[in-house]
Amino acid sequence: MKNNLIKIAIAVVLLLTSASFYGQEIGWRGPGRTGIYNETGLLKSWPENGPALIWEANGIGLGYSSATITNDAIYITGIRGDKDVLTAFSQNGKKLWDIEYGTMSKVQSAPESRCTPTFYQGKVFVVSGSGELSCVSTAGKILWTVDYYKKYNANVPRFGITESPVVVDNKVVVTPGGGMAAMVAFNTEDGKVAWEAPSLNEGAQYVNPLLIENNGTKIIITHTPTWIIGVDASNGRILWKFNFASVNADKKGEKNYIQTPIYRDGFLFAANGYGQTSAKIKINFDGKDPELVWKNPDINPHVGGMVLIGNYIYSSTHDNNNMGRWICVDWTTGKTMWITLWNNKGSIIANDGLLYLYEEKGGNVALVRPDPEKLDIISSFKVTKGTGPYWAHPVINKGRLFLRHGDYLAVYNIKAS
């Protein structure tokens, strides 16, 4: 009797977990696209040579995208030949399937796949380097595809298409830009157009948009070359826009917006590389455009993201394409707390009160204690396999750390017991 009750309890927990799991998207930079993961019971320091390697995979295709992990599989994109490929692995690293889902970027300087798959209610959504949005089943079958760059006569940005689509309320949302629509939502079931946000007559950028919610209204936030915009996720109406270009010192045409913004309690923080000035803005949910709170030219991450821990933003700087440092900025005042060189710039995530840095030039990985007074490194190791820049963002799932380098994926055990 006791054993049966235990089995029933476990089944209920799994059912509730599955229901929650299938009710929201899984993909780019973890829960809420914040870069902050919710694992517990992880190592607070690593052995000298790093955590134990569980499994590794070669030949996933060249790319800078991160892995997307569900209860059943691990999904990742890459290029082979001239095609973008989606590969699925089991939890123990066995390759389940792979499938070509579109044509890779035709931009010679940036052909690698950069779309992190978005998982939603049993389907995987991916964007090719040429602008094809595909819905793929968990068995590796393409359910539908729409070439939204062609459909909306959009121009491919200078460094190619990098989008990881947002999925909300059975709509998958992408941002072609151009003269027809700033943002478009397609029905997840059949790929038909659900709504189109009005054109701002500006091209797309490289940002993976952010979904927030205020008093029941879901809002999708992204960059255009001039604006930060907030779009009603239910109908595509542009609710507000902020002239982000006005706070920057960079020249027209040199803007490259890459980072998913940070949102907390009605305030939004946006920062990007290429010498641009960052800004914290106050969103007015009454229909008025946002207001500038503060700006800071020091924090300008290139491709590595940023996280908000407590009252401090941790990120990196883009001193030039080959060099950058790590930085901490006060969320309330915008004051730069410190800027420190550690190997080079790179990507950053957080979990259970600690930071994880993945340096882009040499593959150094660090476990860091957040501290507004200094860069406090606890442990570090190095990823030596793979090729190209270490631009893929780390992922944490089920006590494992996923690190990608080119066509190589490594999975490490960071569970404490």
pLDDT tens digits, one per residue of 120-168: 999 999 999 999 999 999 999 999 999 999 999 999 998 999 999 999 9
Residue-level pLDDT at 248:
78
Residue-level pLDDT at 249:
63
Q: Which amino acid is at 106?
A: K
Bridge pairing between strands 36-37 and 346-351: parallel
Residue-level pLDDT at 360:
98
Mean pLDDT (the chain, rounded): 92
* Structural contact between residues 74 and 55, judged by C-beta atoms closer than 8 angstroms: no
Equal fold, 27-62+303-417 vs 65-204: yes
In this prediction the pTM is 0.93
**Mind listing the pLDDT tens digit for each residue in 256-286?**
899 999 999 999 999 999 989 999 999 999 8
pLDDT above 70 covers a percentage of the chain that reads 93
Phi and psi, residue 11, nearest 5°: -65, -40
Q: What mean pLDDT do residues 57-85 have?
A: 97
**Mind listing the pLDDT tens digit for each residue in 210-253?**
999 999 999 999 999 999 999 999 999 999 999 998 887 655 55
- Residue 6: count other Cβ atoms within 10 Å of its Cβ: 10
Residue-level pLDDT at 7:
35
Q: From residue 153, give the alpha-carbon distance in Å to each of 13, 103, 126, 203.
A: 47, 17, 20, 11
Most distant CA pair in the chain, distance: 73
Separation of alpha carbons 175 and 88, rounded Å: 26
Q: Is 249 or 209 the better-scoring residue by pLDDT?
A: 209
Phi and psi, residue 245, nearest 5°: -60, -25
Separation of alpha carbons 52 and 36, rounded Å: 22
Q: How confident is the model at residue 287 (pLDDT cuts 50, 70, 90)?
A: confident
Assess whether pLDDT exceeds 60 at residue 5: no
Assess whether pLDDT exceeds 70 at residue 10: no
* Paired tokens of 123: 């389907």
Separation of alpha carbons 406 and 402, rounded Å: 13
* Paired tokens of 115: 């779309």
The structural domains of the chain, with segments of one domain joined by +, span 27-62+303-417, 65-204
Residue-level pLDDT at 250:
54
Classified by CATH at the fold level, domain 65-204 comes out as: Lipocalin (2.40.128)
Classified by CATH at the fold level, domain 27-62+303-417 comes out as: Lipocalin (2.40.128)
Q: What mean pLDDT do residues 55-76 have?
A: 97
Q: Which amino acid is at 226?
A: T
